[in-house]
């Protein structure tokens, strides 16, 4: 395991009106790790992911990714730099097939623009084949080959969650952020998630995991950050977190 | 590939129709108008149906193309094709400058902003009479020429309109099967999801706004030569609303639906002439009925209905 920090967040702050959703949170994610963010409901986990991916503008603080400051970048630029994510509440493209959804994930790897697409120039045709291939591979990787031709709109929640993972992977991210991938999954699906996350990590992708399922978090994480009411409560390896009195109190009391 | 097969059938049918219905007034006059409207509907649908935006100024861009050719060929005696390019340039510039600020808005606000823009451009057509000759319009627009060939007569214009429609259909089908087309559909389904997938949604929306405005402008440029005379009322708000009705009736997001909607709504008055003053009322009723009973559009609704029946029949056979 190497010790390079792929992402460094310093003194992040985000307020919504009077609500302090994230207050002065700093942390670093090491390359190749599975870095988990846990905390009770409303602790600010999703808000933090939204800040890292540019979906929310941060009020103050800095975020460095691979050495470059991305604090003020719009989401598409951050995505193109190699951070991709899934959503707690799903952001599936409902009017598309499963394959098309994942093909959108390959957007950053393509180059053809509006004009060449209109005339379907040879490069578009070639790129289309390549993108299709990448998307099929990403679906395969997530064990979703059987759903390729299905319309996204008709599929159950558990499938959609994994399709979002496939879509994110299709972009070849260096950092993949998963917002509660196990929420709403049945036991069998949750069991399948664990090897999938390990497999993703083994391909060299750094994983940021927001999750309530403690069994999963403790099993797969290299480092854990605990948030409570928008502040950092604790940070450490799974064993340290499990023994931390503040964490135990927050979970039992919260 | 299924789409391509449908496209070839459609193109062939469009081109051989005049051979079947020889000297048909309905086909070459109403049909040509319907095809011009189809071009506008197809382009508007790229912006609205596929990208999920709203525009109530499409008729105004159509008007800029038409006025550009009318003014440049009559007042300045430019070549029609040069005038067409000038029209594209003017439309492109206006839409490009306004795209970003306007497209920051969403939903109702976007509708209001484009409505305002459409009205302003229309007022220009009416008021700037030293350029546009005001409400009386511009007459004496020369014929279009391909080298030495004169484009005139209903039948010739039917073919011109058909070719433009086929061209626009082809462009749209190409676009939708590409990286950029998928990005547009993604914007429609959820901008956050699209952005996080690396799509610069602000830029792409602006690009498509400019593209579809220029498609309308090109159609307008040709229209000026077909008619020989244009006046502001062909490019007013009411016409923008009619275009919107066409794509809603045909089915937002369906290219052939837009064609269907344009042909349907353009030929309707021929059948509804009995209703005279109530024409707009009947339009409205059709729109409301479509929204209630077939919210996905008449074309899409009807074709689903028939494929449903077909599937049932096939199942029975098995
Ligand atoms: N867009 C927003 N506008 C206003 N308040 C918000 C917004 N997003 C989050 N919040 C508030 O910020 C706080 C943190 O919310 P967040 O969704 O980040 O929590 P979370 O840790 O992801 O919770 P959960 O486990 O339930 O998903 C909450 O009080 C929430 O109400
Ligand atoms: Mg959350």
Q: Using CB atoms, which residue from B192, B196, B208 is nearest to A84?
A: B196
Token readout for B276 is 């005279």
What SS3 state is found at B155? Answer: helix
Helix, strand and coil in chain A, % to nearest 5? 45, 25, 30
Return the pLDDT at B316.
64
Q: Is the pLDDT of residue A254 over 60?
A: no
Q: B142: which DSSP letter?
A: P
Q: Using CB atoms, which residue from A91, A107, A118 is nearest to B175?
A: A118
Q: Express as a percent the part of chain A with pLDDT over 90.
A: 89
Return the pLDDT at A249.
87
Q: In this predicted model, which residue has the larger pLDDT, B31 or A254? A: B31
| Residue B273 counted as domain residue | no
Q: Which residues line ligand 1 (CB under 6 A)?
A: A 16, 19, 21, 39, 41-47, 88
Nearest alpha carbon to residue A24 among A232, A225, A208:
A232
Q: Is the pLDDT of residue A1 over 60?
A: no
The answer to whether A76 contacts B211, with C-beta atoms less than 8 Å apart, is no
User: Residues B49, B256: contact at Cβ < 8 Å?
Assistant: no
Which chain A residues are within 8 Å of B177, Cβ to Cβ? 120, 128
What is the number of the ligand closest to the CA of A50? 1
d(CA B57, CA B68): 17
Which residues have CB less than 5 Å away from ligand 2 (the ion)? A 45-46, 88
Return the pLDDT at B300.
79
Q: Which ranges of chain B have pLDDT less than 70?
A: 1-3, 316-318
Return the pLDDT at A77.
97
| Residue B32 counted as domain residue | yes
Q: Locate the chain A residue with the closest alpha carbon to B182.
A: A104
Separation in Å, CA B188 to CA A189, B57, B85? 30, 20, 31
Q: Is B175 on the interface with A (CB under 8 A)?
A: yes
The answer to whether A117 contacts B192, with C-beta atoms less than 8 Å apart, is no
The gap between the terminal CA atoms of chain A, to the nearest Å, is 35
Return the pLDDT at A152.
95
Token readout for A139 is 């679906």
Q: Tell me: the pLDDT tens digits for A89-123?
A: 999 999 999 999 999 999 999 999 999 999 999 99
Query: What average pLDDT score do residues A132-147 get?
Result: 96
Q: How many domains does chain B have?
A: 1
Mean of pLDDT over chain A: 94
Return the pLDDT at B27.
86
Token readout for B25 is 């007034």
CA distance B254 to chain A (A): 12
Strands A223-228 and A34-38: parallel
| Residue B85 counted as domain residue | yes
CA distance B269 to chain A (A): 34
Q: Whose CA is nearest to atom 29 of ligand 1?
A: A42
What SS3 state is found at B49? Answer: helix
User: Residues A40, A17: contact at Cβ < 8 Å?
Assistant: no
Q: Which of A30-39, A240-249, B40-49 comes out lowest in average pLDDT?
A: A240-249
| Residue B91 counted as domain residue | yes
d(CA B56, CA B59): 8
CA distance A79 to chain B (A): 5
The answer to whether A96 contacts B185, with C-beta atoms less than 8 Å apart, is yes
Q: Tell me: the pLDDT tens digits for A211-240?
A: 999 999 999 999 999 999 999 999 999 999
| Residue B151 counted as domain residue | yes
Q: Is B304 on the interface with A (CB under 8 A)?
A: no
The answer to whether A119 contacts B182, with C-beta atoms less than 8 Å apart, is no
Query: What average pLDDT score do residues A48-55 get?
Result: 98
| Residue B22 counted as domain residue | yes
Q: A64: which strand partners? A: A8, A69
Q: A127: which DSSP letter?
A: H
Return the pLDDT at B309.
81
ipTM: 0.94
Q: Is the pLDDT of residue A64 over 90?
A: yes
Strands A34-38 and B149-151: unpaired
Q: Using CB atoms, which residue from A79, A87, A118 is nearest to B171?
A: A118
Q: Is A67 on the interface with B (CB under 8 A)?
A: no
The answer to whether A93 contacts B181, with C-beta atoms less than 8 Å apart, is no
Nearest alpha carbon to residue B236 among B58, B65, B42, B46:
B58
What is the number of the ligand closest to the CA of A212? 1
- Residue in B179, B192, B208 to test binding to A, most A beta-carbons within 10 Å: B179
d(CA A114, CA A8): 36
Return the pLDDT at B280.
73
Domain residues for the domain of B129 are 2-236
- Residue B29, CB half-sphere, CA atoms under 13 Å: how many? 5
| Residue B170 counted as domain residue | yes
| Residue B163 counted as domain residue | yes
Which chain A residues are within 8 Å of B171, Cβ to Cβ? 118-119
- Tokens 């005049």 locate to B18
């Amino acid at each position: 395991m190497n010790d390079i920090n792929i992402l460094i967040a310093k003194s992040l702050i985000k307020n919504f009106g009077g609500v302090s959703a994230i207050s002065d949170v700093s942390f670093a994610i090491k390359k190749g790790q599975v870095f988990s963010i846990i905390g009770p409901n409303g602790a600010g986990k999703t808000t933090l992911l939204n800040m890292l991916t540019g979906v929310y503008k941060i009020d103050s603080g800095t975020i460095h990714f691979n050495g470059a400051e991305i604090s003020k970048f719009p989401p598409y630029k951050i995505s193109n730099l190699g951070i991709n994510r899934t959503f707690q509440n799903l952001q599936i493209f409902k009017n598309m097939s499963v394959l098309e959804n994942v093909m959108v994930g390959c957007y950053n790897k393509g180059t053809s623009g509006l004009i060449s697409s209109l005339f379907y120039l040879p490069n578009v045709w070639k790129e289309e084949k390549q993108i299709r291939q990448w998307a099929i591979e990403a679906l395969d990787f997530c064990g979703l080959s059987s759903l390729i031709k299905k319309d996204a709109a008709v599929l159950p929640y558990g499938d959609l969650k994994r399709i979002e993972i496939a879509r994110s992977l299709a972009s070849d991210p260096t950092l993949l952020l998963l917002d509660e991938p196990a929420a709403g999954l049945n036991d069998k699906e949750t069991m399948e998630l664990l090897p999938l996350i390990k497999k993703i990590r083994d391909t060299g992708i750094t994983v940021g995991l927001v999750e309530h399922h403690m069994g999963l978090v403790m099993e797969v994480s290299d480092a854990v950050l605990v948030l409570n009411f928008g502040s950092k409560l604790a940070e450490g390896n799974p064993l340290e977190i499990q023994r931390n009195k503040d964490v135990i109190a927050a979970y039992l009391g919260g | 590939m299924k789409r391509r097969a449908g496209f070839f059938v459609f193109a062939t049918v469009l081109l051989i129709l005049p051979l079947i219905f020889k000297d048909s007034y309905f086909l070459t006059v109403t049909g040509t108008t319907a095809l011009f409207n189809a071009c506008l509907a197809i382009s508007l649908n790229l912006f609205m149906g596929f990208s999920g935006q709203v525009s109530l100024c499409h008729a105004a861009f159509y008007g800029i193309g038409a006025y550009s050719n009318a003014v440049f060929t009559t007042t300045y005696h430019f070549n029609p094709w040069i005038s067409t390019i000038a029209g594209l340039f003017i439309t492109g510039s206006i839409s490009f400058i306004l795209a970003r600020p306007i497209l920051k808005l969403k939903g109702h606000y976007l509708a209001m902003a484009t409505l305002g823009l459409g009205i302003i451009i229309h007022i220009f057509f009416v008021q700037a009479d030293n350029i546009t000759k005001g409400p009386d319009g511009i007459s004496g627009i020369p014929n279009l020429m391909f080298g030495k060939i004169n484009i005139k007569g209903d039948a010739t214009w039917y073919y011109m309109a058909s070719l433009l429609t086929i061209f626009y259909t082809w462009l749209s089908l190409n676009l939708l099967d590409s990286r950029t087309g998928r990005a547009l559909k993604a914007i429609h389904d959820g901008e956050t999801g699209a952005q996080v997938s690396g799509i610069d949604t602000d830029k792409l929306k602006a690009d498509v706004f400019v593209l579809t405005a220029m498609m309308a402008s090109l159609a307008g440029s040709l229209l000026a030569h077909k008619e020989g005379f244009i006046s502001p009322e062909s490019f007013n708000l009411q016409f923008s609303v009619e275009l919107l009705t066409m794509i809603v009736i045909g089915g937002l997001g369906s290219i052939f639906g837009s064609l269907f909607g344009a042909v349907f709504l353009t030929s309707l008055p021929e059948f509804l002439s009995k209703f005279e003053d109530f024409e707009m009322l009947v339009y409205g009723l059709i729109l409301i009925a479509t929204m209630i009973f077939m919210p996905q559009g008449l074309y899409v609704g009807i074709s689903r209905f028939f494929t449903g029946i077909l599937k049932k029949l096939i199942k029975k056979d098995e």
